[in-house]
Amino acid sequence: MRLGLLGGTFDPLHLGHLILAEQAREQLLLTRVLFVPTGQPWRKAGRSLSPAEDRLAMVRLGIAGHVAFEVATVEIERPGPSYAADTLEWLCRQEPQAALFFILGQDTLMDLPNWRRPQRVLEMARLVVARRPGESGDLAQVEVTLPGLRDRVVWLEMPLIEISASATRERVRRGLSIRYVVPEAVEAYIREKGLYRS
């Protein structure tokens, strides 16, 4: 079994997330892709987040109908900050025979040395990386801190998607359309709950 894991705040889930997950699924022949909404993202401490139940609901609505996409609530249920290494260890216990693929953006890859136990992340999973518009970085510099990183990275072939959760929230705040930015069901949920208005 080949399992992909895509973590994030998903505040909100948008089409960029879905395109990334689908490209990873197709290119790496993944059996399933788990969307893992963070509970308390330690790298975004101090930033105001929508309640976990709203972010989880948006993920569930956004992936509904895709047979290979699932939600894992482990980080929301776990008390304290959410760490990728802990989540991967949990997944290794759940699916000991599975090959794990951790899906992330290039900007996140460049930040990997600042994570908690990044070497452990590399031991447990291959990193499936999507390039981000305007993002450049020296992988060799990161590899100084994390030897063997380059051998654990798979670069995705996909269009550069300039959709971000922060820009989506700003559009809602300004009363602009988010049609074709998020799935229709997510757009309806945001409108119904009055998210991102202030």
pLDDT at res. 139: 82
Determine, yes or no, domain membership for 130: yes
Look up tokens 């249920």; give the residue: 77
Residue 68 domain-assigned (yes or no): yes
* Count, residues in the chain: 198
Which domain covers residue 63, as residue numbers? 2-161
Contacts by 146-150, CB closer than 8 A, 24 or more apart: 146/112, 146/113, 146/118, 146/119, 146/122, 148/122, 149/112, 149/122
Residue 185 lies in a domain: no
pTM of the model: 0.93
Can you give the CATH number for the domain in which 136 is found?
A: 3.40.50.620
Position 64 confidence tier, pLDDT thresholds 50, 70, 90: very high
User: What pLDDT is stored for residue 116 in this prediction?
Assistant: 93
Q: What is the pLDDT of residue 90?
A: 96
Measured in degrees and rounded to the nearest 5, phi and psi for residue 158 equal: -160, 160
Alpha-carbon Rg for the chain, nearest whole angstrom, is 16
- 184 inside domain: no
Q: Residue 45: what pLDDT?
A: 60
